[in-house]
């Protein structure tokens, strides 16, 4: 594998609310960036293993998974497998990972194990995406400690805003105490239905409050995105002409543009 000149940009896809579209976003963004000729690693930080399965990798058939990496049994490179359908690498997970919390608690630098494991491969990729579980647990903390930024997918529903402040505060605390590099990259509106007035209202509220931290791209509710995981494919590969696929490609481009602009401003 050719080495990059600069280390990978590492982003967590996080929201402690369940079922808001984290994994769908992580998988499709990974595939979109890969389609844009970027070298991508998708890390499945959720014991549910949905990002693994949705990338066409059988979570119960892999030799190693993130659990063995976090407890130092294997190197990260040894645990990575290829998503043939997505064109990116996957660090798989399965139920075993739920045991990691207990092992980690007993370790020094327990929130930095993922960050340390990533050091060895950071020049092998352009982007590393981390699909977080729906918790603010020690696993999620390992993700936030290792990342440069957080992407928050959210549905434009009334209660969506409630949990958001907890997450934004967690990001600020991690930034202050553990990882100075961490920043909120942006909020991504997902599963959006333009016909629903309430969604439009909440969307406007989000924009008014978070301003340029809201991505311009909006991901529509689209059944093709929901069907894709059962075929072991990212939605953008399963039906690249679907509205959902086009939106995630646009999101990949928007993210790359944002990073370029930030780089130029720095
Ligand atoms: P969890 O918190 O359990 O990890 P999650 O936040 O990762 O969930 P997903 O698994 O990505 O959420 O999505 C939840 C459900 O919504 C899934 O069935 C998924 O296929 C569906 N879904 C996600 N995004 C869309 C979309 N844009 N249009 C239609 N269905 C979607
Ligand atoms: Mg998920």
pLDDT by residue (tens digit) across 109-122?
Answer: 999 999 999 999 99
Ligand 1, atom 8: closest residue by C-alpha:
19
In this structure, the residues whose C-beta lies within 6 A of any atom of ligand 1 are: 18-24, 46, 48, 50, 134, 190-191, 219, 221-222, 225-226, 244
State the DSSP H helix or E strand holding residue 43, giving kind and residue range, or none if neither: strand 40-44
The answer to whether the beta carbons of residues 164 and 47 sit under 8 Å apart is no
How many CA atoms within 13 Å lie on the side-chain side of 260? Answer: 6
**Vertex 238 angle, CA 236 and 241, to 5°:** 60
Separation of CA 198 and ligand 1 centre (Å): 20
Position 160 scores a pLDDT of: 79
Q: Where are any strands of DSSP class E within 107-225?
A: 127-131, 149-155, 183-192, 214-220
The closest ligand to the CA of 17 turns out to be 1
Query: Using CA of residue 44, residue 49, residue 55, residue 56, what is the dihedral sign?
Result: positive
Position 263 scores a pLDDT of: 74
> Which atom from ligand 1 is nearest to the alpha carbon of 20?
6
Separation CA 215–CA 210 (nearest Å):
10
Separation CA 59–CA 162 (nearest Å):
33
How confident is the prediction for the chain on average, in pLDDT?
94
> Which atom from ligand 1 is nearest to the alpha carbon of 50?
10
Could you give all domains of the chain from N- to C-terminal order, each with its CATH number? 9-265 (3.40.50.300)
Neighbours of 266 (CB within 10 A): 5
Separation CA 24–CA 256 (nearest Å):
19
Position 264 scores a pLDDT of: 72
> Which atom from ligand 1 is nearest to the alpha carbon of 229?
20
Ligand 1, atom 20: closest residue by C-alpha:
226
Ligand 1, atom 5: closest residue by C-alpha:
19
Position 266 scores a pLDDT of: 63
Separation CA 207–CA 205 (nearest Å):
5
Exposed/middle/buried for residue 256 (C-beta within 10 Å: 0-12, 13-18, 19+):
middle
Select from 55, 16, 11 the least CA-distant residue to 140.
Answer: 16
Separation of CA 19 and ligand 1 centre (Å): 5
Position 183 scores a pLDDT of: 94
Ligand 1, atom 2: closest residue by C-alpha:
18
Separation of CA 147 and ligand 1 centre (Å): 22
Within the chain, which residues score under 50 in pLDDT?
Answer: none
Position 261 scores a pLDDT of: 85
3-state percent helix, strand, coil for the chain, nearest multiple of 5: 50, 15, 35
Beta strands 149-155 and 88-91 are: unpaired
């Amino acid at each position: 594998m050719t080495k990059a000149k600069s280390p990978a940009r590492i982003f967590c896809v996080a929201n402690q609310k369940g079922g808001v579209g984290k994994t769908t976003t992580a998988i499709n963004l990974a595939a979109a960036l890969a389609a844009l000729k970027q070298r991508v690693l998708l890390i499945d930080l959720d014991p549910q293993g949905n990002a693994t399965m949705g990338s066409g990798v059988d979570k119960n058939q892999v030799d190693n998974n993130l659990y063995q990496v976090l407890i130092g049994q294997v190197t990260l490179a040894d645990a990575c497998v290829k998503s043939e359908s997505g064109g990116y690498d996957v660090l798989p997970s399965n139920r075993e990972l739920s045991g990691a919390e207990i092992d980690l608690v007993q370790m020094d630098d327990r929130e930095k194990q993922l960050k340390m494991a990533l050091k060895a491969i950071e020049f092998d990729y352009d982007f590393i995406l981390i699909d977080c579980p729906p918790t603010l647990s020690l696993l999620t903390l390992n993700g936030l400690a290792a990342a440069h930024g957080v992407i928050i997918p959210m549905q434009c529903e009334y209660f969506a805003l409630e949990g958001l402040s907890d997450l934004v505060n967690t990001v600020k605390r991690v930034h202050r105490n553990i990882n100075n590099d961490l920043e909120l990259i942006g909020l991504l509106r997902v599963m959006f239905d333009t016909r629903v007035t309430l969604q439009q209202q909440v969307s406007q509220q989000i924009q008014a409050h978070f301003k340029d931290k809201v991505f311009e791209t909006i991901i529509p509710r689209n059944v093709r995105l929901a069907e894709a995981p059962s075929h072991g494919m990212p939605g953008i590969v399963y039906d690249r002409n679907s509205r959902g696929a086009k939106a995630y490609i646009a999101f990949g481009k928007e993210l790359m543009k944002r990073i370029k602009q930030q780089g130029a401003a720095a």
